[in-house]
Every structure is written in C-alpha cells, then in structure tokens.
Structure 1
Amino acid sequence: MSRRLKVLISGTGFAGQGHAEAFRAAGAEIVGMVGRTPEVVAEVAARLGIPHAGTDWQAALDLLQPDIVAIATPGGAHFTPIAQAIAAGCHIFCDKPMTESAETAVDLYQRAKARGVKTAYAASFRYTPSVLHAKRLVAEGAIGAPTEIECMSHFNLERDIPFGWSHRKEDGGGRLNNNFTHTLSIVTSVVGDKVLGIFGDLRDDLGRAPIVKGVHNFATRRDFIPKDLTDPALEWGESNVEWSYTVLARLQSPLAEQPVSVLFKHGGLVPRFHDDHIVFYGTKGAIHLKGHYGSGQLSLYSKDKGWQDIPLPRDIAAAVPKVTGETEQCWHYLARELVKDIQGETVDPYPTFREGSQYQQLIDIIRKTHTWTDTSDLF
C-alpha cells in the first residue's frame, strides 16, 4: 500500500490528542477531529495541525472517508460512532473501555467481524518494555510453569475530582473499566487469554463528587477541584460505580498443566505503602515488575541466586516508541501494529474487539455476581 492511511479522531482530550500523535508517528495522515464543543475542537485541531474540525461524526465520515477511526471518548459514548464507522468500512482503534456494557460490546465485535474491518482495543499497557520482557522470560521457561499472579495497585485519587463520566456506570466509568482492563490485558498477554472463572468484591467508597463546568480534558480535571467544598451553592453528583475492587480469576495457560490463579487488587482512593507491583510466580522462580502496570524494574527470582534485577534486552529497548509518557508509548506501539497489519505486514497478535468484548462481559459478570457465603450464623 503506497498511499498514507487517513485517520479520523473522535475526541479532543488527552486520549484524542494522544491517538492523533500516535497515528501520525506511525506514518498515517490525520485528516480530521470531531468533538462535542465547536470552539474546543477547533482550537485542538488547529494546534495539532489537523485540517478538519467538526461536531458531526457521520458528516465527517462521509466527507473525509477515513481508512481508520480512533475512538478517544468515554466508553459510554462509543457505541454509535463505532457502529457508524463499521458501516462505513473503517478500521477502528478504540480506547478502553470498549463500551458501557457486555451487550453493546459483543454487538460491535460481531458487526466488525461481519464487515471484515480490523480493530485494535487499547488496553495497551501490555506494551511497556518490562511487560514485553516478562512475556519473553516466561515463554522461555525462566520461572517454570506459571502457577499464580498478583496485581497490586493503590492510586490515592483525589476524592473531589469533578463529577463526570468516571463516576457513572452508564458512561463507562468505574475502576474495572479503567484499571482492570489494563492489568487483565497484561496478565493474559504473558500466560494465556483463556479465562476459566472469575469473581470479585467491589466497593464504591467515594459516594459523591462536586459538579463543575468547563472540564474538557480528563488529564487536567484535578485543576477544577473547587477551592471551597463547603460552599452551600455547590452541586454534587452521586457515584454509581466501583472505586475499589478485589477480583480472583483462573486462567488456562499453554505453559502450565493446571489453571493459573490470579489476584487483581486495586484501591482507587487509598494510598500505597510499599510499591505497587505485578508478580508472576512459577514452579521454578518468579518475576517481579515494579509499578501498578508493571512498567518498572524487572527482577527475577531463582532458588540459586535469589532476587536479581535484570536489564532490558536491547531489541525490546530499541522497539520502544520515542515519545514521553508510558500511556503515550503504549498508544504509539499499538497504533504502529495496527497500521502495519492494515498495510499487509506480519505483526504479532494484538488486542482487538474480541478482547474488548470479552473484557466487558467479564466486568458485567463481576458486577452482577454475588459469591459470598453467609457465615453470620456460625459459632
């Protein structure tokens, strides 16, 4: 394919701008951006050098006829623009969560499959260099057969971040949609993606948040926290989704005879004491990745040598996109893979709408299933 692929962006915030830069770095042409607010989309598009700025998604699809669309809005706003893009025959790059529910996510997956378009689902922290390194080591047998995994993270988010989509289940909010999607993608990329069973305990320990106008960029929402939270004129919105979770899963792995046990523990509003981490345990050793998405130092444990920090292989280091920010690096990596795939190059498997629809089904199961056994009458 000799011509440059054309990309249309949905969303003007941190993700929309990040997706635009990722596809531009992958050699594609960013032909347009669509947003809700005319003056905002006009300003962002002009600053990024994007020729078309508008608020009508279908009109932009008809006018620009893009090869790829990048969906960078909150999950609750994904269904209609994705459905319209599929009908237009566009390949799709969609940020997580895929949608607000299993039903709509499965619907889109089936539509994309029937239309024959390629899809990329940006639960993309599986592309941090240390996770790629861990994947290689586990595949090489460095820890023997994997037996269990733990994913620990504590974000200590500000409780008074202005009320918005992240507080609402129907808009794709909640920590399962916006944290669990990444850690599940990391774990399944390393040991295998067949989830045999899952359950969890969820908690909304936030309750409410102040309603503030003018927040257009998720990355700068902290700047809008009201200075006087006791102001009687302040309006409040009620959260209806989880801010902390503990999830247990069993995965089938081609590297192990028995299912792999996985603990996903996330506290969105609580502080960390020790470092967040992801650890892969096996019959012969273990791999510790520092950081909530395992993007820090990789350490390998063996019975002979104990824990040792392992340097990043040169080829993995060389493949890291040259851009600031782990989120941005991962978007660049996945966008690069999608572009190569569309152009007919051979690429490793990457997360698609298959994974996105599976994750939404799992999240719905976790939210609906009550697994506790009542022991209140025991002596």
Structure 2
Amino acid sequence: MTGAADRTTGPTVAIAGVGRFGALHARAWAEAGARIVGLVDPDADRLAGTARAHRVERTGTDLAALLDQVRPDIVVVASDEASHAGLAVTALTAGCHVFVEKPLALSAADAWRIADTARAHDRQVVAGHISRFTAQMSRMRAGVERGAVGRLCALRLRRDFSRAWFLSFGDRVDPVWESCVHDIDLAISFARARVRRVMAMRSAAAGDAAPSVVSALLEFDNGVIATVESAWLVPAAGPGTLDDGPLDLDGAIVGEAEVLGLDGILKQRLVSDALVEWTTAGVQVPDLSLWPEEDGLVGGALRREIGYALAVFTGRREPDLMPLEQACWGVEAAEAIVESLRVGAPVQTARR
C-alpha cells in the first residue's frame, strides 16, 4: 500500500470490477487523492485482495446493494464490457458521477440511455478513452485545432496487440469493441464530427482468428475519412511494451496514427526507438505514454485521464476533453462496423 492510498480527504470512489485493469484503477484513483470506499466484483478472491490493498471495508457482488450501504461521490466502472451500461445507469440513478472504462456501452441505444440518465440526475459521465490523454495525441490534436495541417482531409489509425491476448481474453467481446474503439474515438476527437457511414472487412486468411483482424473505413459528416485497422497478431517474440509496468499484462500494443491535411501531415508511433532495452530477458520497448510508473506512482495518460475526470466531477473543469456526446458517437460507429462486418456492405450509423 502506498502512502497516497492512506489519504482520508478528497472525493469518495467505489469501483465496479476489480480485475486486472480495475485493480490498476483502484491504485491510480487512490494515488490521485480519492478515497476508495467500496468495491464490487463477482470474484471473491480478487475482491478480497483489492480490499486489503486499499483498506476497503464495504465490498460485494451487486453495485445497487453496495450503494444502499455507502454513497460515494464517484463510481468507476471497470467491469466486463456487457455490464457497463447497466452499472453506469445504476450509479447515476443513485446520484453518483461515473467514470466508465471504454467502451461506454455495446449499443448506441444504451450509450444514449446513459447520457439521458446523466442529464436527468445532473451528474457527469467520463468515458475512459485513455488514448485521448497521451501526450502525443494531445499535441497532435492541438496541432489540428490551431490549423497546423490546414483543412483536415483524412486519418489513418492502426493498432496491433499480442496474439496471446486474443487467445486469453480478446474474444470476450467482439474485438471491434476492445481494440478498434480506441481509434474510432481518436478519429472522432480529430475530426470533431459524427461518423456518417462505415465499411468494414475481416481477414478470411486469418481462419479462426478472423475476428482479431479488422479493417474499417469511416466517413464523417464533415467529409473527413478515416481508416481504422486492428490485428491481434503480434507474436510472442515481438518487442514487449508493458512487461515491467504496473499492469499485470505482458506483451505489446503497437499503434500508429497519421493526420493528413491540405497543409501538412502529423504522424505518431506508439512503439518507437526512443527507448529500447536489449537484455538477457529479451528486447523491450517500454511504453512511457499509457500508465508508466513515475517516481513510484502510476503516471502517463491514465494519471492525466483520472485528473481530468476528478476536475470534471468536482466542478473545476467543463467536460471539454472527453465530451459524453462524442463517446456516444463512438459507440454508434463501432456498432455500425460490427453490422457492416455481418452483412458485408456499407452501413449508415444509427442515430436517434
């Protein structure tokens, strides 16, 4: 237990889902000054371990029942994707602000139901699209906004994951919701518009791994187009990017982003040769953008994301960096990509 988790001041937080990433959230929110007052998870061992680490007395398997016992300021939803919408609505109805790990929901109808519930109860919702908060993407977005590339024309976004991850948890939900959703959100953040139409394909050559290899073309209302590609095929011999970080997950996330305008192009690579470690343990290209440990604390984009959410929830900042409306647009686009993959044809996004 770090000293940061001993704080007794600051907003109170309950966390729904304390698996690998939920446990990381517990640590990061505590380090940010929040007080963890409740935990929910169906796994008794995970629940007990996280409760011990953060000295949390109130735990359970049902969020509604927990909220009857303790009323936190904030609920962090870090459970399996299918449960996000229901848990978010439960927390909002109880009067809590909500941070929801991506994806916000698995259907546009549920995404907008969350937005409607937040509005009805005068609560804020922040969707956990961490890539928006990396220093590189923040700088690229600022460049687009100040006109560095002129009129925005197109976006190219690619993200690859370790093959072992797909075999262990990548097929828990359609990988569109697990991996493509990151880059759908980035595309929306750059284009600042709603996706109108999508066309998507999967690789027949991938055989049983076909769901893990997706390519999609997105057309926005303002005429910008974006390509979003995702594959969970990085071999075990590939460079590790997360092996020694605070998240218990060995392997690689390899991404690239390009912003193309009439007056310039911006490019970013998630894995670069800025820092490479060649040791007897193998080759590591440690990621220093997402959640690196910095002076014993979780840093990077996750710390900035949580800092932003705390500022929004406490009224110190408007929800400008991750507007809930844009998170709903992202769910619309992901849902359309899944449908396009099913029917093998272009699909218009569903709008209410």
Match among 339, 359, 363 for residue 330 of structure 2: 359
Partner residue, 1:267: 231
CA shift for structure 1 position 47: 1.8
CA shift for structure 1 position 124: 1.6
CA shift for structure 1 position 279: 0.9
How many positions carry a matched residue from both structures?
305
Q: Decide whether the 8 Å contact of 2:312 with 2:319 is kept in 1.
A: no
Task: State the alpha-carbon separation in 2 of the partners of residues 333 and 159 from structure 1.
Answer: 26
CA shift for structure 1 position 55: 2.2
Q: Decide whether the 8 Å contact of 1:93 with 1:119 is kept in 2.
A: yes
> Residue type matched to 2:186 in 1?
I
CA shift for structure 1 position 94: 0.4
Residues 247-300 of structure 1: CA deviation (Å, up to 9, x unaligned): 1112355xxxxx222111112226699x742111111221110127xx997xxx
CA shift for structure 1 position 328: 6.1
Task: State the alpha-carbon separation in 1 of the partners of residues 305 and 321 from structure 2.
Answer: 7
CA shift for structure 1 position 43: 1.6
Task: State the alpha-carbon separation in 1 of the partners of residues 145 and 234 from structure 2.
Answer: 34
With over 3 angstroms needed to count, the CA separation of the structure-2 counterparts of 1:153 and 1:83, relative to structure 1, is closer
With over 3 angstroms needed to count, the CA separation of the structure-2 counterparts of 1:140 and 1:357, relative to structure 1, is closer
Residue 248 of structure 1 aligns to a residue whose secondary structure is strand
With over 3 angstroms needed to count, the CA separation of the structure-2 counterparts of 1:246 and 1:260, relative to structure 1, is same
Q: Decide whether the 8 Å contact of 1:152 with 1:266 is kept in 2.
A: yes
Q: Decide whether the 8 Å contact of 1:202 with 1:244 is kept in 2.
A: yes
CA shift for structure 1 position 160: 7.4
Partner residue, 1:187: 187
Partner residue, 1:335: 306
> Residue type matched to 2:84 in 1?
H
Q: Decide whether the 8 Å contact of 1:34 with 1:53 is kept in 2.
A: yes
With over 3 angstroms needed to count, the CA separation of the structure-2 counterparts of 1:52 and 1:159, relative to structure 1, is closer
Q: Decide whether the 8 Å contact of 1:42 with 1:54 is kept in 2.
A: no
Partner residue, 1:178: 178
Residue 148 of structure 2 aligns to a residue whose secondary structure is coil
Q: RMSD across aligned C-alpha pairs, in angstroms? A: 3.2
Task: Give 5+ residue unaligned stretches, structure 1.
Answer: 209-240, 254-258, 298-316, 374-379
CA shift for structure 1 position 85: 0.9
Q: Decide whether the 8 Å contact of 2:19 with 2:46 is kept in 1.
A: no
Match among 260, 263, 266 for residue 284 of structure 1: 263
Task: State the alpha-carbon separation in 1 of the partners of residues 165 and 38 from structure 2.
Answer: 35
> Residue type matched to 1:242 in 2?
P
Q: Decide whether the 8 Å contact of 2:158 with 2:183 is kept in 1.
A: no
CA shift for structure 1 position 61: 0.7
TM-score normalised over the length of structure 1: 0.71
1:85-234 to structure 2, matched below 5 A, reads 85-158=91-164, 161-162=167-168, 166-168=170-172, 173-203=173-203, 205=206, 207=208
Residues 335-368 of structure 1: CA deviation (Å, up to 9, x unaligned): 2112112222134613254333322222222222
Task: Give 5+ residue unaligned stretches, structure 2.
Answer: 1-7, 240-253, 275-287, 347-352
Task: State the alpha-carbon separation in 2 of the partners of residues 31 and 146 from structure 1.
Answer: 45
With over 3 angstroms needed to count, the CA separation of the structure-2 counterparts of 1:328 and 1:103, relative to structure 1, is farther
Task: State the alpha-carbon separation in 1 of the partners of residues 221 and 22 from structure 2.
Answer: 35
Task: State the alpha-carbon separation in 1 of the partners of residues 163 and 79 from structure 2.
Answer: 21
CA shift for structure 1 position 203: 4.8
TM-score normalised over the length of structure 2: 0.76
Task: State the alpha-carbon separation in 1 of the partners of residues 321 and 186 from structure 2.
Answer: 11
Residues 175-224 of structure 1: CA deviation (Å, up to 9, x unaligned): 2111122112222223323223222113584638xxxxxxxxxxxxxxxx
Larger Rg: 1
Deviates more, 1:99-108 or 1:128-137: 99-108
Match among 79, 82, 86 for residue 85 of structure 2: 79
Task: State the alpha-carbon separation in 2 of the partners of residues 114 and 323 from structure 1.
Answer: 38
